[in-house]
Amino acid sequence: MLKLGITGGIGSGKSVVCRILGCFGIPVFRADDEGRRLLTGDAETAREVTSLLGSAILTDGRPDPKKIAPLVFADPARLRSLNDIIHPAVRRSFTAWCGNFKKGCVAEEADILFESGAYQLLDRVIVVTAPQQLRIKRVTERDKLGEEDVKRRMQFQWSDDELVKRADFVIRNDDRTPLIPQVMNILEKLKSECKDINN
């Protein structure tokens, strides 16, 4: 089974690329969604995070991502400590999820695939890039965040240049270059590694 990683900075359009992969029959594991699920639904993870950040992060007895974000994005050490709790748990979930598939191709979407070490479980990595101002516009509209908040979050992620150096494939999502042909081109190249890809 071929394992793809899909990564890129906040607002680059990873989720759109993953929806396209889904249309080609490739199951996608969304690491950030799983991290949020573990944060609010896994007792051990919730206990560790509450121990790290304090009970002020709780809403109805559960860690609240909206309360956590301002704390960790203002403090790099806290963010690292939070990631040290969340990412190993997400990797375990991904490994278990992969057990549902015996052949073909699967994908993992993650914001910080390289930074977290998750790329080590994958065969190929696709990096999605977009101009910074376009990314800021997308995130401010989608998440209702201020521009400075978005820029602060970007500071904790690798630049496109750093990501592209490690990528096996790059998709440019600049609202001018069509995405579907780029995805199809990558899948065509991967057919030699995974006969079950059907595009």
Using alpha carbons only, give the angle 148, 37, 134 rounded to the nearest 5 degrees: 30
Q: Are 146 and 27 in contact (CB under 8 A)?
A: no
Q: What is the pLDDT of residue 197?
A: 65
pLDDT digits (tens, 9 = 90+) for 144-175: 888 998 998 898 889 999 999 999 999 999 99
**pTM above threshold 0.95:** no
Q: Are 107 and 27 in contact (CB under 8 A)?
A: yes
pLDDT digits (tens, 9 = 90+) for 43-61: 999 999 999 999 999 999 9
Q: Find the distance separating the first CA and the last CA of the chain, reported in whole Å.
A: 17
pLDDT digits (tens, 9 = 90+) for 20-42: 999 999 999 999 999 999 998 99
Going across the sheet that includes 124-129, the strands are 28-30, 105-109, 2-7, 124-129, 169-172
